[in-house]
Amino acid sequence: MWQTVGQERAVAALQRALAAGRPAHAYLLAGPPQVGKATLARELAQALNCEGAERPCHECVPCRRIAAGIHADVQTVTVETSDGAVHKDISIDQIREVGRAVSLRAFEGRCRVIIIDPADAMNEAAQNAFLKTLEEPPPDVVFLLITARPQLLRATIHSRCQRLDLRPMPVAAVAEVLAGRWGLPERRAQLLARLSRGRLGWAIAAEADAEMLRTRREALVDIRSLPQRSLAERFAYAGDLASRFGRQREAVLGTLDLWGQWWRDVLLAAADCQEAVTNVDLGDILRAEAARYDRRQVAAFLRALAAARRRLEENVNPRLALEVLMLELPSPR
C-alpha cells in the first residue's frame, strides 16, 4: 500500500508500470521542495524490492531496510559533506562510483536503485558522465532523479527519463491529512497547511522542528522593518543574503519566497480577503500593515521580487540583484 499522499497521478503511473512488469530504467521526479519527491522515490525503491503480496507492503525485511536507509542495493547520491561544510555540487567522481556500483549484480534485492537528490546539483562533468550510464542502462537497475529545478538538467538526460511531476496539494487537503493522520489540533493543522502552500512534507517537517517556524518569525521581523531602514542598512541586509547564496542557495530563495508571501498577504488584507491569507496567525498585524502602504507600490515590489528571483536562478551577480531589489521596497505612509 502506497503511503505517498496527494500525488495520486504519479503513484498510479508507477503502479501500472509495476503491474505490467515494465518499470522505466530512469524516472525524473520533479516538483517544488518538500512536496513528496523523496518519499515517492523511497516507496518506489521499496516496491521494486518488496517481498509482500501488495507492493510496497512496508512490512517485509527489504521494505524495512530501505525505510531505514540500510539496504545494500538502494543508494542515495547527494552533495557530500566534509568538516561540516556542504559541497555545492555532485562531482564526477561520485557519478563514476555510481557507474562502478551498477555494473555489479544486486546484492540483497531484486533491483538496484540509485537515487540522485538533488539531480540538478550534478555539475556539467557529472551530467556528462551520468549520461553515458543512461545511454546503456544495466539490467535490473532503476535511476531516480529528484529535482526542484529540472531546467538545469541537460535535455539529453530528460529524454532518457520518464518524468513524473509532483504538485502541491490543496491547502484544505494538507490540513485534513495533518489532523487525521498526524493528529494535530485543527487550528495548528490549518496554520501549517497555509504556511506550507500545499507541500505536505514541509508541514510535517515544521511540526517536528520548531526551529523552522522560529526562523520564519525572525525573517518576518526583517521583512517588516526593512522599508523603514536607511539605504545603507538595506544594502547591508542584501549583502548578507548574497554572501549566503553560494552555500545556502535554497535557504536564500526560501527567504525570498517568504517575502513574496508576506507582501501578497498585505495586498490580500488590504482587499479584505482574509480567507486567502497565508500567514493566518498574523492577521491583526497584516491589517495594520495594509493601512500603511500604497497597494500599487506593494504590487510593484512583488513584480520586482519575482524578477530578482529569476535573476538569481539565472546565476547573475546575487549582490547586485538583491541591492536592486532593496531600491524597490514600498515606502510606509
DSSP 76-141: EE---EETTEEPSSB-HHHHHHHHHHHTSPPSSSS-EEEEETTGGGB-HHHHHHHHHHHHSPPTTE
Query: pLDDT at position 87, please?
Result: 59
Residue 85 has pLDDT above 70, yes or no: no
Mean local confidence (pLDDT), 96-109: 89
Q: Where residue 331 falls among pLDDT bands split at 50, 70, 90? A: very high
Task: Give me the pLDDT at residue 187, please.
Answer: 92
* pLDDT at position 86 over 80: no
Cell of 308: 530578482
Categorize the per-residue pLDDT at 81 as very low, low, confident or very high, splitting at 50, 70 and 90. low
Mean pLDDT of all residues in 159-172: 96
- pLDDT: is 305 or 313 the higher one? 305
80 has a pLDDT exceeding 80: no
Report the distance separating Cα 120 and Cα 154, nearest Å: 9
Domain boundaries, the chain: 8-165, 168-208, 212-327
Of the listed ranges 32-36, 109-113, 128-132, 136-140, the least confidently predicted one is: 136-140
The CATH number of 8-165, from 3.40.50.300, 3.90.700.10, 3.40.640.10, 3.40.1260.10, is 3.40.50.300
CATH topology of 8-165 equal to that of 212-327? Answer: no
- Sheet with 26-30, side-by-side order of all strands: 74-77, 112-116, 141-147, 26-30, 162-165
Q: What is the pLDDT of residue 275?
A: 85
- Cβ atoms of 129 and 96 within 8 Å: the answer is yes
Using the structure block, give the residue that is written with the C-alpha cell 495594509: 290
What 8-state DSSP symbol labels residue 36? S
The mean predicted confidence, pLDDT, of the chain is 92
pLDDT digits (tens, 9 = 90+) for 211-267: 999 989 999 999 999 999 999 999 999 999 999 988 788 889 989 999 999 999 999
CA 184, CA 192: separation in Å to the nearest integer? 10
* Least confidently predicted of 81-90, 131-140, 204-213: 81-90
Do you know the residue count of the chain? 333
> Hey, what's the cell of 248?
545556502
How far apart (Å, rounded) are the C-alpha atoms in residues 297 and 311?
21
CA angle (29 as vertex; 28, 30 as ends), nearest 5: 105
Decide if pLDDT at 120 tops 80.
yes
Query: Quick one: how far is CA 50 from the chain centroid?
Result: 27
Q: What amino acid occupies position 148?
A: A
Report the CATH number of the 212-327 domain. 1.20.272
* Alpha helices in the chain, H assignment, sequence order: 8-20, 37-49, 61-67, 92-102, 124-135, 155-159, 171-180, 186-196, 200-208, 210-225, 231-245, 249-270, 283-290, 295-313, 318-327
- pLDDT higher than 60, residue 83: no
How far the first Cα of the chain sits from its last, in Å, is 57
pTM attached to this predicted model:
0.86
Whether 84 shows a pLDDT value over 90: the answer reads no
Average confidence (pLDDT) over 186-204: 94
114 strand-pairing partners:
75, 143
Share of the chain above pLDDT 70, in %: 98
Give the closest residue to 158 by CA, choosing from 127, 201, 136, 137: 127
Residue/partner pairs of 276-284 with CB below 8 Å, 24 or more apart: 277/194, 278/194, 278/195, 278/197, 279/194, 279/195, 279/220, 280/190, 280/191, 280/194, 281/191, 282/220
* pLDDT average, residue stretch 16-31: 95
Place of cell 511540526: 207
Query: What's the pLDDT at 61?
Result: 96
d(C-alpha 200, C-alpha 275), whole Å = 20
pLDDT tops 80 at residue 180: yes
